[in-house]
Amino acid sequence: MVPVAYYLVLSAILFGLGVLGFLVKRNLITLFMSIELMLNAVNLAFVAFAWQWKSLNGQVFVFFVMVVAAAEAAVGLAIIIAVFRTRETLNVDKVNLLKL
Amino acid sequence: MGLSITTFIVVTVIKIVIALIVMLTAIAYSTWLERKVVGHIQNRWGPQRVGPFGLLQPLADGLKFIFKEDLTPPYVYKPLYLAAPILSLVLALTSISLVPIGNWVTIRGVSTPLEITDVNIGLLIILGITSLSVYGVALAGWSSNSKYSLLGGLRASAQMVSYEIALGLSLVGVLIMSGSLNLREIVDMQSGHMWAWIPRWNIFRGQIVAFFVYLAAAFAETNRVPFDLPEAETELVAGYHTEYSSMKFAMFFMAEYANMITVASIATLLFLGGWHGPLFGPTWLQDVLPVFWFVLKVFCFIFLYIWIRGTLPRFRYDQLMAFGWRVLFPIAVANVLVTSFIVALKK
Amino acid sequence: MRPHLHLWLIPLLPLVGAAINGLLGRRLSNRVVTLVGNAFVGASCAWAWWVFVRFLSLPQEALPYVHDYATWIRSGSFAVSYGVYLDQLSMIMVLVVTSVGFLIHIYSIGYMGGEGGYYRFFAYLNLFMFFMLTLVLANSYLVMFIGWEGVGLASYLLIGFYFLRDSAASAGKKAFIVNRIGDFGFLIALFLLIKHFGSLDFSHLFPLIKDLGVENAAPGLLTAIGLLMMTGAAGKSAQLPLYVWLPDAMEGPTPVSALIHAATMVTAGVYMVARSHIIFSRAPSAMLVVAVIGCLTALFAATIGMAQTDIKKVLAYSTISQLGYMFLACGVAAYSAGIFHLMTHAFFKGLLFLAAGSVIHALGGEQDMRRMGGLRNRIPWTFWTMTAATFAIAGIPPFAGFFSKDEILWSAYSSEYGSWVFWAIGVLTAFLTSFYMFRLWFMTFFGEFRGAESGAGEHGHGHIHESPKVMLIPLAILAVLSVIGGWIDWPESLGGTQRFDAFLAPVFGAHAEAAAAAAEHSKELLLAGTSVLAALLGLFLAWLLYQKRRDLPDKIAAALGGLYNAVRDKYYVDEGYAAAFVQPLIKGSTYILWRGIDAGAIDATANESAEGAEHVSDALRHMQSGNVRSYAGWVAAGAAVVIAYMVYLGVR
Amino acid sequence: MLQLVLFFVFGIIAVGAAVNLLAQRHPINSALSLIVVMASLATLFLLMGAEFLAAIQVIVYAGAIMVLFVFVIMLLNAGVEDRTPGSRVAMLLGIPAVVLLAGSVAWTLVARNPYPVGVNLTGGFVGSPSAIAELLFRDFLLPFEVTSILILIAIMGAVVLASPAGTTAGTGSPEQPPAKAEE
């Protein structure tokens, strides 16, 4: 018997790792992967809650999250390609035209 | 299933072993078959030195591969370079574990299906595993740090991902008709005959289009002629496994044939009525016949593979993509729509 | 089925003219402008007369002729509709306004010819006609108020017609502002009516009020309403204490002075009081106030008029004092007398102004009587018409003014609201009136010419010349009217039948003097004789001072000294007002409202907030490192705060 | 019991892979470790009866999205990332903060979860494809269609963005397949 809390804790840890990755990593693509990691953690939480309440809505939510993640990945990676094409680097610290 | 966990595990292990042996031999002899058939198509004899009709040729090939020097070129990204072929082969062999090849059999009280595990979303899992099999190719292409390999890998991944969609969609029609993802149930749906003589196979029940879409997509999935761009010798030497030799290359080789067999058996299960066929004779025969029919159908499918390889030229890459996206995909979608309409009307 | 009189044509035709001239006039030739400006007014005048003909044939019970054209406001139980309310009173007003207006329009063709903004003038004039007729034909106080404000606007525009002259512009502003004070009272009166009767529609309102008793004992609601309305009337009709704008209004072109500030607009107050006679007759104290204000204004303005030298100023003050007469009449419930005087006054005062305009025209813009004189032979037409008008206003029989003024005086004496005091002041005023009018007459037309022969004025042409026909014909017509205009109300005491009163009787009901008249013909004759004597005395005095012994006036002035100066300088009323109201207002606006509130509070707030935002954002700007991950860090920090709070909630 | 074991096995695998994702300095390793995370999460989904989601997780995430990542990595041949002072600061600040945060959340959940519901594999609750489909195409039909439109827009955006300036995106724009693969 696995308490739902365990799953939630796991998702919390994964989410935290995702945030950390986003903060620490410098490679654009890795940042994206961190985002995906966070999304997965959220999915895990959704499924866990769906299980807890014995309701499928949570799983449907996960489905939608996946769809959005896919769209986001497609566009985001396209952006990354564009950025790379123009700036010849994937280092976010070097992509800082917004700096004043 | 009313058996204890231990017997379950034991039975499963036994089945796994059997399946492995069968698969490997099947792979080996499908290579032999291919060479033979292509040889005859090209007006040659094909292998015939080793053993009668060269029947032992695969064995010799295997020995040759094993005893070859296992060299890894410099400048490759080693971990992935080594992992890639294993990954491909493992995935290829795993996917077969979900393929039922016959009814339940009962050997001294222990009744078990003729497959390693019977999952009620088997088809989905198979698709998932095949979709993973992209990585083997892609990583191999990238990690071996060579232009040809990289191009091959890129091509392979793009192509497989693209055709995966057409593949999946071509199956949806069947799924709609059978309303299940369980391969066994899907097969059982196709038992019996229409008008007393036409077997109620999905291919005969309106899914003929889907079948051909699946055929083309499957060829692309397995990087076979006419879609074998990733390993187009004329352009890319040998594509993603240019830098591979000996056993590592053998793994890719075996993985390719394993995928062929998986795809063939899926086609058999979904379109060609699985193990259904005329049953006659004594009971033992009746127990064996379904397996025989199944193997026969798979064999025909593989023969089709080889036949096409021996006859058709190779596409150009953009043609390949265009075909996948502009022809197969729309047809598959249309097929899904039509099928769902018909099913809805029948309801 | 009652006939449809299509009254809406009467106000709308001038509006169309105004629209055409006002919008396209700049591109139209003067001829077209003239045609448009006069044709529409003429048409509405003609229509008015046609309506009059039909009106006479209407059966008594069909009156008042009420017709609603469209609903304007509908909020809850309160509803106001555009419509017309035609009874004898408004009929007379319509006739006077359209006819005199039309004549003055014609006159303007000649007078304004060659002036800048010709089209503008006619557009304004037509606009004024529209509003004035709206006012007169209104079927409710609110529609009346539209006309009320509209004529105010028109008069503002026309007073400031020569807006390049600073005096003209300020005079326009003065008129507008002073009128606002009056309108304020009028508005409050309307609010009271709405509050207590829930309607402003005459045909709803008057029956309701009829049921109320007369507030003899204690002044009540109706008294308040009446007083407030009187405020409005005093503003519009230049009565004490709000008369100050009218003399300055003479800055406008003379036809404007004639039409708006003598004949029609300034009588709107009288009309309004007469229209609301039902209210007033149930509020005696309000009536008393009206009467007192009326006669005081009459006397006051007359005294000022004596000492003025500007010909138009003299006429302006005489207008004020004549209006005072009318209010006196209304104040003693002799509404028909008031309206009668209104009509005759429209004739002769309009004529006076037009003639004065003609004189000014002849002298090339000269308005100071001290530089006139001896024009009798130079401009005979003007002279004779002016003479008729002067005799009329002086109240010398059988000219129009005599009948109306006499009727007012008689009813001031005889009606139950009146008293001999009113009568005495009236007679005194009559004396003064004839004095200053004949003073004007003598100074202008007799003796020898005292001005510069070649007075190059705003009209440019030097030698003194008679005005063109187009100006003289209206003069002639009005002269005829001011001679015979009074005869329609030939008093019974002189063996006449007071047709005018009879005509208006259905509106105002049988009046006191009608009852009292029967008995006291002798006394009435006596009083009439007195007033005629007063007029003749004025004539004689004027002849003596300004014709026979020209040195006397200065001597008298010197003898009177300060008093004379006070009179000449209009009792310093303007200065008083300036000191009492205007200066404090300006100071207050300057120091409190502008420097204090506007600059100190509002602007300061805006500026300070802007600078604050600038500083804050300047501080925040440094958070924008342009580094994506730092942004992510901020986001994460915010999320962390939220999560921490939720954790706290969970723990708590 | 068995579930607990499985949970811990795959949970630890997931966490380890996630940590590896951060530790690795080469994007492709990170990508692979992320794939591992996803696969283990899929098995956890199976533990919680969401079998359809498990399959979808593998097919969509591992099979499509991550393929896309790997593909881009290969395409751009993204090299090893270099250290910058900014990242060091981020580490010094971020690691403790995140650890603290996740720890507190975890503690709250474990200590104060008002619903300690047990999860067992034989519970009748199974997110079968048909059940999901019923929800998806009946109750959530509108969101579903909206997401499909979203996908369409994403495809076009990706094509436009990724196609070199000037050239109209032809076939075989590598962004297309995964985006499509959802439908």
Strands (E), C32-75: 65-75
Does residue C633 sit at the A interface (CB-CB below 8 Å)?
A: yes
Residue pair C524/C364 in contact by the 8 Å Cβ criterion: no
CA distance D18 to D35: 10
Closest-CA residue of C relative to D106 is C647
Q: Is some CB atom of chain C closer than 8 A to the CB atom of D108?
A: yes
Lowest mean pLDDT, pick from D66-80, D122-136, D163-177: D163-177
pLDDT of C394 reads 86
**In contact, C137 and C77? CB cutoff 8 Å:** no
Interface partners of chain D (CB pairs < 8 Å, 3 or more) are A, B, C
Any residues with CB less than 8 A from the CB of C213 and at least 6 apart, and which? C282
Q: Where are the beta strands (DSSP E) in C46-99?
A: 65-75, 78-86
Residue B14, SS3 per DSSP:
helix
For residue C632, give the nearest of A23, A96, A100 by CB distance. Answer: A23
Chain D residues in contact with B164 by the CB 8 A cut-off are 63-64, 177, 181
In chain C, which among 620-649 make CB contacts under 8 A with chain D?
A: 627, 629-630, 633, 636-637, 640, 643-644, 647
Measured between CB atoms, does D90 come within 8 Å of chain C? yes
The answer to whether D172 contacts B162, with C-beta atoms less than 8 Å apart, is yes
Residue B240 resides in a domain: yes
| pLDDT at res. D123 | 53
Confidence bin at D81 (pLDDT 50/70/90): low
Q: Which of C327, C332, C218, C205 is nearest to C266 (CA)?
A: C327
A100 contacts chain C (CB < 8 A): yes
Asked whether residue C634 carries a pLDDT value surpassing 60, the answer given is yes
A22 contact residues in C (CB cutoff 8 A): 629, 632, 636
Tokens of C599: 């600059």
Of the candidates A23, A98, A99, the beta carbon closest to that of C629 is on: A23
Provide, as residue numbers in chain A, all residues whose Cβ is less than 8 Å from the Cβ of D131. Answer: 56
Dump the DSSP string for C522-546: HHHHHHHHHHHHHHHHHHHHHHIII
In a domain? residue A51: yes
CA distance C645 to C651: 10
- Rounded Cα distance, C274 and C333, in Å: 9
Question: A80 lies in a domain?
Answer: yes
Question: Could you tell me which chain D residue has the CA closest to the CA of B181?
Answer: D129
Q: Which helix (H) or strand (E) holds C186?
A: helix C166-197
Contact A70 D158 (CB under 8 A): no
Q: What pLDDT was estimated at residue D183?
A: 37
Does residue A22 form part of some domain?
Answer: yes
Residue from the list C621, C624, C629 with its beta carbon closest to the beta carbon of A92: C629
Q: How many domains does chain A have?
A: 1
Task: Give the model confidence (pLDDT) of C247-299 as tens digits.
Answer: 888 888 888 888 888 888 888 888 998 888 888 888 888 888 888 888 888 88
pLDDT of residue D171: 46
Number of alpha helices (DSSP H) and beta strands (DSSP E) in chain D: 8, 1
Nearest C-alpha in B relative to D50:
B121
Distances from the Cα of B294 to the Cα of B102, B264, B297, C171, angstroms? 8, 10, 5, 113
Residue C511 has pLDDT above 60, yes or no: no
Asked whether residue D172 carries a pLDDT value surpassing 60, the answer given is no
User: For residues D37 and D154, is the Cβ–Cβ distance under 8 A?
Assistant: no
Kindly tell me if the per-residue pLDDT of D19 is higher than 80. yes
Task: Sort strands B193-194 and B198-199 into parallel, antiparallel or unpaired.
Answer: antiparallel
- What are the residue ranges in chain A where pLDDT is below 70? 1, 95-100
Q: Which residues of D are less than 8 Å from A67 in CB distance? A: 147, 150-151, 182
Contact C628 A19 (CB under 8 A): no
Helix (H, G, I), strand (E, B) or coil at D53: helix
According to the per-residue pLDDT averaged within each range, which of C145-154, D47-56, D73-82 is highest?
C145-154
φ and ψ of C465, to 5 deg = -145, 155
Report how far residue B313's alpha carbon sits from residue B295's, in angstroms, rounded to the nearest whole number: 28
Comparing A100 with C66, which gets the higher pLDDT?
C66
DSSP string, C206-247: HHHHHHSPP--SS--HHHHHHHHHHHHHHHHTT-TTSTTHHH
Q: What is the pLDDT of residues C398-456, one digit of tens each?
A: 788 888 888 888 888 887 777 888 888 888 888 888 888 888 888 888 877 776 655 44
B147 SS3 class: helix
Distance from CA of C651 to the nearest CA of D (A): 7
Tally Cβ neighbours within 10 Å of residue C651.
11
Burial degree of D86 (CB within 10 A; 0-12, 13-18, 19+): middle
Residue C300's closest CA among C346, C249, C239, C342? C239
Tens-digit pLDDT string for chain B (347 aa): 456 778 778 888 888 888 888 888 888 888 888 888 888 888 887 777 777 777 787 888 888 888 887 777 787 777 888 888 888 888 888 888 888 877 777 776 677 777 777 777 778 888 888 888 888 888 888 887 777 888 888 888 888 888 888 888 888 888 888 877 888 888 877 777 777 677 777 777 777 888 888 888 888 888 777 777 666 666 677 677 777 777 788 888 888 888 888 888 888 888 887 777 777 777 777 777 888 888 888 888 888 888 888 888 877 778 888 888 888 888 888 888 888 888 888 77
Tokens standing for B80?
A: 């992935």
CB pairs under 8 A between A and C: 32
Does the structure's ipTM exceed the value 0.90?
no
CB-nearest to C640 from D87, D101, D108 is D101
CB contact under 8 A, C629 and A99: no
Show the CA angle centred on residue B341, arms to residues B335 and B347, nearest 5°.
Answer: 135
CB pairs under 8 A between A and D: 264
Chain D residues whose CB is inside 8 A of the C643 CB are 101, 104-105
Beta carbons of C629 and D101 less than 8 Å apart: no
Q: Nearest-CA residue of chain A relative to C639? A: A19
pTM beyond 0.95, yes or no: no
Residues of D with a Cβ under 8 Å from any B Cβ are 28, 32, 35, 51-52, 55-56, 58-59, 62-64, 67-68, 70-71, 73-75, 77, 128-130, 170-172, 174, 176-178, 180-181
Element (H, E) at B106: strand B104-107
Query: Residue C628: which residues within 8 A CB-CB, separation 6 or more?
Result: A31, A92, A95, A96
CB D118 within 8 A of CB A3: yes
Is A92 near chain C, with CB under 8 Å? yes
Q: Tell me how close the Cα of A44 comes to any Cα of chain C, in angstroms.
A: 18
CA dihedral for B140, B146, B147, B148, sign (positive or negative): negative
- The parent domain of residue A38 ranges over 4-87
Chains with 3 or more CB pairs closer than 8 angstroms to C?
A, D
Instruction: Supply the angle between the helices B147-178 and B208-221 in degrees, to the nearest 10.
Output: 160
Can you give the pLDDT at residue D174? 46
Q: How many CB atoms lie within 10 A of CB C47?
A: 18
Among B43, B42, B37, which Cα is nearest to B303's? B37
Token digits of residue C458: 């705003």
- Domain range for residue B269? 71-102+119-346
CA geometry: angle D108, D113, D119, nearest 5 deg: 125
Among candidates A22, A93, A100 on the partner chain, residue whose Cβ is nearest the Cβ of C632: A22
| Min Cα–Cα distance to chain D from C650, Å | 7
What is the least distance, in Å, from the CA of D51 to any CA of chain A? 10
- How many structural domains comprise chain B? 1
Share of chain C above pLDDT 90, in %: 3
pLDDT of residue D173: 45
In whole angstroms, what is the distance from residue C240 CA to residue C293 CA?
Answer: 6
- Inside any domain, residue B61: no
CATH code where residue A56 lies: 1.10.287.3510
- What's chain C's length in residues? 652
Question: What is the C-alpha to C-alpha distance for residues B162 and A21, in angstroms, rounded to an integer?
Answer: 31
pLDDT at C219 > cutoff 80? no
Which stretch of DSSP H or E encloses residue B113?
A: strand B110-113
Interface contacts (B, D; CB < 8 Å): 99
Which residues in chain A have their CB less than 8 angstroms from residue C622's CB? 100
Q: What are phi and psi of C83, to 5 degrees?
A: -170, 175
| C-alpha pair distances (Å), A38 with each of A54, A56, C626, D80, D132 | 24, 21, 23, 23, 23
Q: Is residue A97 part of a domain?
A: no
Q: Which chain C residues are closer than 8 Å to D108 by Cβ? A: 647, 650-651
Residue in A closest to D122 by C-alpha: A1
Distances (CA, A) of C73 to C151, C201, C207, C308: 22, 12, 22, 48
Question: If we measure between CA atoms, which residue out of B188, B213, B212, B216 comes closest to residue B201?
Answer: B188
Q: Is residue B10 assigned to a domain?
A: no
